[in-house]
């Protein structure tokens, strides 16, 4: 089980994303866009550009992302990330 946080990520525009625990080289980030939920892996050196979202509980964000995954679809990686997410 992995801890998640709710952060703002910049990738051709600002996204609200769930950020997982960082690995040796990359940090997994689940972003929601018009195509559904996707996992992006960003290099650890770029995590300093992430901005926390004030007043958003991680447990509530995980629920909302799971609902969006059911509605709009998601990749297998995003489904696995949400299944293992502990807010």
In this prediction, residue 81 carries a pLDDT of: 92
pLDDT tens for 9-18 read 887 777 889 9
Q: Model-level pTM greater than 0.75? A: yes
Burial class of 4 by CB neighbour count within 10 A (0 to 12, 13 to 18, 19+) = buried
Question: Number of structural domains, the chain?
Answer: 1
In this prediction, residue 1 carries a pLDDT of: 45
pLDDT tens for 23-59 read 999 999 999 887 889 999 999 999 888 888 988 899 9
Q: Sign of the CA dihedral 25, 11, 86, 73?
A: negative
Cβ atoms within 10 Å of 84's Cβ, excluding its own: 11
What range does the domain containing 68 cover? 2-86
């Amino acid at each position: 089980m992995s801890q998640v946080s709710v952060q703002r990520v910049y990738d051709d525009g600002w996204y609200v994303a769930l950020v997982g625990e960082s690995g040796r080289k990359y940090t997994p980030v689940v972003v929601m866009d018009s195509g559904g939920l996707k996992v992006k892996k960003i290099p650890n050196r770029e995590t300093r550009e992430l901005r926390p979202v004030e007043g958003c509980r991680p447990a509530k964000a995980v629920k909302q992302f799971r609902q969006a995954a059911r509605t709009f679809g998601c990749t297998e990686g995003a489904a696995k990330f949400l299944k293992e997410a502990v807010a």
